[in-house]
Amino acid sequence: MLGIFGEVTPPEPFATKYGSFETGLMKFANNILKLIIIGAGIFAFMNIIIAGYTFLGAGGDAKKVEQAWAKIWQSLVGLLFVAGSFVLAAIFGWLLFKDPTAILNPKIYGPE
């Protein structure tokens, strides 16, 4: 018996790239997370470059030098948080599931 709307076929090629609904949602969310992390890395890299130009162009002005150093340190701390989140996820995955990739690459088990 068909549902109310009949048989729905997934669009190509997007839906087949992510597999079935059960596994595809996690792969899609994983790709979104990777995109956000790459964006954070690019943002931090650009902040460091801009702060470096500010530092070089300060011309001995103590206030500009201090602002440049603050921006550099904030960018580096942000990168440490992003990298540290992976390390913590691996540690917690190892402690809870005996698999360091359990949190980073989750698997959904369902009826087969």
Q: What is the pLDDT of residue 17?
A: 57
Segment 69-80, tens digit of pLDDT: 999 999 999 999
CA-closest candidate to residue 29, choices 112, 110, 90, 103: 103
Q: Looking at the whole model, is its pTM more than 0.85?
A: no
In this structure, what is the dihedral angle of CA atoms 91, 38, 48, 53, given to the nearest 10 degrees? 170
Segment 9-53, tens digit of pLDDT: 666 665 555 555 556 677 777 788 888 888 998 999 999 999 999
Q: How far apart are the first and last CA of the chain?
A: 20
